[in-house]
Amino acid sequence: MRITTFTDYTLRVLMYLALKEKPNEPSESRESVALATIPEIAAAYGISSNHLMKVVHHLARTGTIESIRGKGGGIRLAAAPDQIRLGQVIRASESNGPIVECLGEEPGVCKIAPVCRLANILGTAFEALYASLDQYTLADLTRQSKPLQGLLFSTSTAPTTKRGKS
């Protein structure tokens, strides 16, 4: 089993946004958090902006990110990184289909579907997987912020201190 590319890119977007926030600031309104653009994130990872559009749309719809339109607009996390649990993120990004074929809507896909216990057993196991993931937040994923920022940011996109130094 593997996570989908959609989930992979969802996590990459969220990690980028978490890394762009200024670290160790006193808690403040999300409105002062710097925005990032889709082309900026795509360029940082060396992937296509088109791939990220669906991901960003999904994250805005789930309320995980805020999207500010217009000139100077962009996206940012809707909550601090340590408030965003990975199980919830991945459950939402992976929720595009049944765990096993018999849970799908096509009629008669498996002959024993009416009396099979597999779907229930798998459902329980996936709950265990998401519960394990919920023990981690986006902050845990981006804990090694300096080397991650080094790999992702050019000097023009790195988070800056109040004095404008990167």
For residue 35, what is the DSSP state?
P
The interface mask with its own copies, positions 68-107, x = CB under 8 A, is ------------------x-------x--xxxxx------
Contacts (CB under 8 A) with its own copies, residues 138-157: 140-141, 143-144, 147-148, 151-152
Q: How far apart are CA 72 and CA 81, in angstroms?
A: 23
Here the tokens at position 67 are: 């999207």
Q: Of these, 50, 114, 155, 162, which contacts its own copies (CB under 8 A)? A: 114
* Cβ within 8 Å of residue 89, ≥6 positions away: 10, 11, 14, 64, 138
Q: Which is nearer to its own copies, 12 or 66 (CB)?
A: 12
CB 66 within 8 A of CB 75: yes
Q: How far is the CB of 86 from its own copies (least distance, A)?
A: 7
**According to the binding rule CB under 8 A, does residue 133 interact with its own copies?**
yes
For residue 68, the cross-strand partners are 74
Q: Which is nearer to its own copies, 71 or 111 (CB)?
A: 111
Instruction: Identify the burial level of 147 via C-beta atoms within 10 angstroms of its C-beta, where 0-12 means exposed, 13-18 middle and 19 or more buried.
Output: exposed
Q: How far is the CB of 53 from its own copies (least distance, A)?
A: 19
- Neighbouring CB atoms inside 10 A of 62's CB total 15
* One-letter amino acid for residue 80 of the chain: A
Contacts (CB under 8 A) with its own copies, residues 55-74: none
**According to the binding rule CB under 8 A, does residue 121 interact with its own copies?**
yes
Chain positions contacting its own copies, by CB under 8 A:
1-5, 8, 11-12, 15, 44-46, 86, 94, 97-101, 110-112, 114-118, 121-122, 124-133, 136, 140-141, 143-144, 147-148, 151-152
